[in-house]
Amino acid sequence: MNQIDARKLADELLKNTQVWIAIIGLLGGIFGGLLVIGGNFLLNWVQHRKEEALDTARTRLLKQLLETADWRELSILRRVIGADRETTTRLLIEMHARGSKKPREDGEELWGLISKHALNAIE
């Protein structure tokens, strides 16, 4: 084997090695990207499960409070379930509760179950 043939063989090996390095790098990038996406989905799912469990417990408490009273003040409902106004009202609406049509003098909102207080009933 002469020097020119050895040079050609070395160049071919170098080209083949570079192709394989590029292919492996591309596959590694794709695999790494898929792992990041999968990890984000898993993290989101775990966080969402925690929120759902908390909402379920809060809804149970709200239902007990509203079944044992005619109307309840929103501030009391919020305090008992440990949630802000938006979360509390969202959960109340999801569980088929409604606010009172009549405003109170002190500005406090009252909430009750629709099953106990139909929308056409006068409060």
In this prediction, residue 72 has a pLDDT band, given cuts at 50, 70 and 90, of very high
**Domain residue limits, the chain:** 3-113
* pLDDT tens-digit readout, 5-43: 777 777 777 777 777 788 889 999 999 999 999 999 999
Name the pTM for this structure.
0.62
Given this model, what pLDDT does residue 122 score? 53
Q: In sequence order, which residues have a C-beta less than 8 Å from that of residue 72 and are 6 or more positions away?
A: 65, 66, 110, 111, 112
* 73: helix, strand or coil: strand
Does domain 3-113 fall into CATH 1.10.10.10? yes
State what percent of residues in the chain have pLDDT above 90: 56
- Which runs of E-coded beta strand occur in the chain? 72-73, 97-99, 110-113
Average confidence (pLDDT) over 90-105? 90
